[in-house]
Amino acid sequence: MALVLLNPHAQGGRAARRLPALRAWLAAHAPEAQLAAPEALHDSVALLQTLPEGSRVVVVGGDGTLNRWLPELLARRLSVGLVPMGSGNDSARAWGVDGLPWPQALTLALQGPAQAIDTGLAHWRDLQGQTHDTPFLSSLTAGFDSAVGLRALNGPSWLRGLPRYLWATLHELIHLRHWELTLHSDGQLRHQGTSLFASSLNTPTFGSGMPAVPHAQLADGQLDALLAGTFGRLSALCMLPRLLIGRHLGHPRIGCWPYRQLDIACAQGVPLAADGEYLGEAQHVRIHCQAASLHVVRR
């Protein structure tokens, strides 16, 4: 039996409007499937914890929904289908289901074979000295792009998708900040100095479709680091169009490389976000690739 689990808060609450249509479709096409849409996160987690290992879960939501449920999806070894109803949908793009009509996406999510993909795990220490373990599917951002993500989450409700992230990026440029970062990649010192951001990608895009690492692969046993050095407001603004078309990697102040473990240290604390969800500020982050750790339905 499959569980179709909808996040009623996805798309700013608009996903909840799909409940009657989903219920009717399942009654006609997959009556054996269970449909649930708990209001509270802990109720969704509790429901996932009751499922036998290896069960199929169809997530109706976006990157933030997947991220919130990811610890249980991994712990229960659940296979995951996706009906994309989020604001960013970068995982949906990488899985090949973004843009599908929801009945087609739901059919694929229920019936399609699952394939193993990699995930990331960030072990980080906040400014109070507390440690946290945060898995992620698409991206772990540190620095400017995390600040953009936080601004986007608090942005105007009438903006959605990429325009919302562009709005947040332009507003964050007004308050442009840099951080003193030290990066060790697979045990080797890779960078030390002033940086705009140091992020990790498992999918080709982040920020609602920006092709940050166009060559990234979901199941290659590694993640990709993306580093930006010092940029002024004008140079950062000029870089944005190149990022939007995936032509930024040739810039002398942009670095990109694959890794299995990455350590980021920042004495002042650097803002973090996982799959677009803001986490807080960290003084140290250790990120490693969890190869073939999640089975998902992809095209």
Residues 58-111 pLDDT 10s: 999 999 999 999 999 999 999 999 999 987 899 999 999 999 999 999 999 999
Of 89, 112, 135, which residue is a domain's last? 112
Residue 103 lies in a domain: yes
- Output 177 or 115, whichever has higher pLDDT: 115
Supply the range of the domain harboring residue 176.
119-291
- Taking the C-alpha atoms of residue 101 and residue 275, their distance in angstroms, rounded to an integer, is 23
Q: What is the mean pLDDT of residues 210-238?
A: 94
Closest of 127, 123, 122 to residue 283, by C-alpha: 127
The model's pLDDT over 22-48, given as tens digits with 9 standing for 90+, comes to: 999 999 999 999 999 999 999 999 999
What pLDDT score does 207 carry?
81
Question: 0.85 cut: is pTM over it?
Answer: yes
pLDDT band of residue 205 (cuts 50, 70, 90) is very high
Mean per-residue pLDDT over the chain, rounded: 92
Q: Number of structural domains, the chain?
A: 2
The answer, yes or no, to whether residue 244 has pLDDT greater than 90, is no
pLDDT score of 14: 86
Residue at a domain's end among 85, 112, 139: 112
Encode pLDDT of 119-158 as tens digits.
999 999 999 999 999 999 999 999 988 887 777 766 677 6
pLDDT band for 19, please (50, 70, 90 cuts): very high
Alpha-carbon distance 249 to 213, whole Å?
Answer: 8
CA-to-CA distance for 133 and 146, rounded, in angstroms?
17
Question: 90: Cβ–Cβ under 8 A, 6 or more apart, which residues?
Answer: 63, 138, 139, 203, 205, 206, 207, 208, 209, 275, 276
Query: Where does a domain end: 112, 131, 149?
Result: 112
The answer to whether residues 82 and 229 belong to one domain is no
277 and 209 in a single domain? The answer is yes
